[in-house]
C-alpha cells in the first residue's frame, strides 16, 4: 500500500523546503524537504522538483520500514502517520521503539502516548515536534 498525499503534505508542512544545504536541529546535513544527505550525496542546492523527488523516495523508504516492522493491518491513515513519524525519527529508531511494540500488540489506544515521547532533540523539548506529533496522532486515529 503506497502512502497518500496526506502523508506527503504533512511532511512538507513540517519540514518546509530549503533549496540550500543546511544542518538540521539534529546535526545532519539536510536539503529540500528534510532529506538527510548520505555520505555519497553532495548536493549544495536543489530545485523544488528535485526536492519532491527526494521526498517521495524518502517516504517510500519510511513506508516500507513501517510495513516491514508492523504485524497488524494498518489503515491508509495509520500508514501515512507512521511513515511521517519514521521519516522524522528514522527506521532504526522506529524498529527499536515501544511505539512499534504497542502497535504490534494491537494496543492502538497507547499510540498517542508513545508518539508524544518523541518530541526531544538532545534532551530539549522542541515545540515544532510537539505540533508534528499531534498532527501525526490526529492522522493515525482518523476514521
Domains with residue ranges and CATH for the chain? 5-140 (1.10.530.40)
Q: What pLDDT shows up at residue 143? A: 79
Cell 496526506 maps to which residue? 6
Specify whether 50 is catalytic: no
Residues comprising the chain, all counted: 143
Contacts of 48 (CB under 8 A, 6+ apart): 17, 19
Q: 15, 60, 107, 138: which is the annotated catalytic residue?
A: 15
> How many other C-beta atoms lie within 10 A of the C-beta of residue 28?
13
pLDDT, tens digit (0-9, with 9 covering 90-100), for 11-40: 999 999 999 999 998 899 999 999 999 999
Distance (Å, rounded) from C-alpha 125 to C-alpha 130?
8
User: Across the 143 residues of the chain, what is the mean pLDDT of every consecutive 10-residue run?
Assistant: 93 98 93 96 95 98 97 96 98 98 97 98 95 98 91
- CA separation for the pair 91, 16 (Å, rounded): 21
How confident is the model at residue 1, as a pLDDT?
75
Amino acid at each position: 500500500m503506497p502512502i497518500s498525499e496526506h502523508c506527503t503534505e504533512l511532511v512538507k508542512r513540517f519540514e518546509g523546503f530549503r533549496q540550500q544545504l543546511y544542518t538540521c536541529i539534529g546535526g545532519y546535513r539536510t536539503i529540500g524537504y528534510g532529506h538527510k544527505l548520505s555520505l555519497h550525496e553532495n548536493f549544495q542546492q536543489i530545485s523544488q522538483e528535485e526536492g519532491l523527488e527526494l521526498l517521495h523516495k524518502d517516504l517510500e523508504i519510511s513506508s516500507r520500514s513501517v510495513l516491514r516492522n508492523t504485524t497488524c493491518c494498518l489503515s491508509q491513515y495509520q500508514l501515512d502517520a507512521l511513515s511521517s513519524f519514521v521519516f522524522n525519527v528514522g527506521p532504526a529508531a522506529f524498529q527499536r521503539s515501544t511505539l512499534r511494540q504497542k502497535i504490534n500488540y494491537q494496543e492502538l489506544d497507547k499510540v498517542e502516548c508513545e508518539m508524544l515521547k518523541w518530541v526531544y532533540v538532545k534532551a530539549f523539548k522542541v515545540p515544532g515536534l510537539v505540533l508534528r506529533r499531534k498532527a501525526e496522532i490526529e492522522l493515525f486515529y482518523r476514521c
